Amino acid sequence: MKILVVGASGTLGKAVTANLRERHDVVSAGRNSGDHRVDLTDEASVHALFSAIGRVDAIVAATGSVHFGPLAEMTAANFNVGLQDKLLGQVRLALIGQHHLNDGGSITLTSGVLSENPIRLGANASCVNAAIDGFVRAAACELPRGIRINAISASVFVEAWDAYRDYFAGFEPVPAARVALAFQRSVEGVTTGQVIKVW
Ligand SMILES: NC(=O)c1ccc[n+]([C@@H]2O[C@H](COP(=O)([O-])OP(=O)(O)OC[C@H]3O[C@@H](n4cnc5c(N)ncnc54)[C@H](OP(=O)(O)O)[C@@H]3O)[C@@H](O)[C@H]2O)c1
């Protein structure tokens, strides 16, 4: 398969790319890294990416920033960070990308454990992750030509544990390589409309 991985240089993206490259032709992309440059917050940039790479068999998003901060100090502008970047960035990739997928292709997005397991400072992240999960459940019902879509919802990565452990008391970190197996399942398997949890 020819697989587009956006965010391939990140902690998650590196693990996903290493897994998929064993069996597939991976085209990597990021704002400042990868085979191609793309900014998922920019509609024209996403169109330009697909014009450059042509049709693909799978689209993977391993990107997304959200705002972490106390609710009492949170502004709408703060909240909009996650809406524009992690949520609409990935949704934009799916909306445009569906028209550049071969029959039987797939889209795999990244959500996260906070959708169902809130932490302090995490209102934006919980909301955005739940929205991504909702999007894939509904989008799967409408995608034509055997195209599938799933979200991968992981706990904190072992690789990020030192930075995040104080915020995730009592959570069990997971190796990014284990999360990558869920991406493999989404890309190479048969499920659609699923939130694959790696908690
Ligand atoms: N870290 C964790 O413990 C954890 C746990 C569960 C879920 N997640 C989720 O997993 C995803 C990836 O996290 P990560 O820790 O791997 O992040 P990361 O290391 O910061 O990597 C982010 C990747 O996305 C690219 N990117 C960022 N913004 C972009 C944009 N607007 N357009 C295109 N590419 C963009 C970056 O490339 P450039 O730098 O070249 O732009 C980079 O390759 C996020 O959605 C995060 O919420 C993370």
* Backbone dihedral angles phi then psi of residue 197, each to the nearest 5 degrees: -95, 135
Determine the pLDDT at residue 5: 99
Find the 11 Cα to ligand 1 centroid distance in Å.
7
3-state secondary structure of 174: strand
Determine the pLDDT at residue 24: 98
Find the 151 Cα to ligand 1 centroid distance in Å.
15
* Backbone dihedral angles phi then psi of residue 157, each to the nearest 5 degrees: -80, 145
Determine the pLDDT at residue 125: 98
Residues 6+ apart with CB under 8 A from 163: none
pLDDT tens by residue, 111-148: 999 999 999 999 999 999 999 999 999 999 999 999 99
Amino acid at 101: L
pLDDT tens by residue, 163-199: 999 999 999 999 999 999 999 999 999 999 999 999 9
Residues 6+ apart with CB under 8 A from 167: 68, 119, 120, 121, 122
Tokens linked to 199: 């908690």
Minimal-distance CA residue to ligand 1 atom 23:
7
Percent of the residues in the chain that have a pLDDT greater than 90, as a whole number: 100
Determine the pLDDT at residue 115: 98
Tokens linked to 143: 């995608």
Question: What's the pLDDT band for 6 if we cut at 50, 70, 90?
Answer: very high
Ligand 1 atom closest to Cα of residue 161: 3
Amino acid at 96: I
Find the 54 Cα to ligand 1 centroid distance in Å.
24
Is the torsion defined by CA of 40, 145, 55, 191 positive or negative?
positive
pLDDT tens by residue, 39-97: 999 999 999 999 999 999 999 999 999 999 999 999 999 999 999 999 999 999 999 99
Determine the pLDDT at residue 76: 98
Q: Which residues line ligand 1 (CB under 6 A)?
A: 6-13, 30-33, 38-41, 62-64, 85-86, 89, 110, 112, 154, 156-157, 160, 164
Minimal-distance CA residue to ligand 1 atom 5:
156
Ligand 1 atom closest to Cα of residue 85: 31
Determine the pLDDT at residue 184: 98
d(CA 3, CA 129): 23
Ligand 1 atom closest to Cα of residue 32: 40
Find the 165 Cα to ligand 1 centroid distance in Å.
18
Residues 6+ apart with CB under 8 A from 88: 41
d(CA 6, CA 60): 6
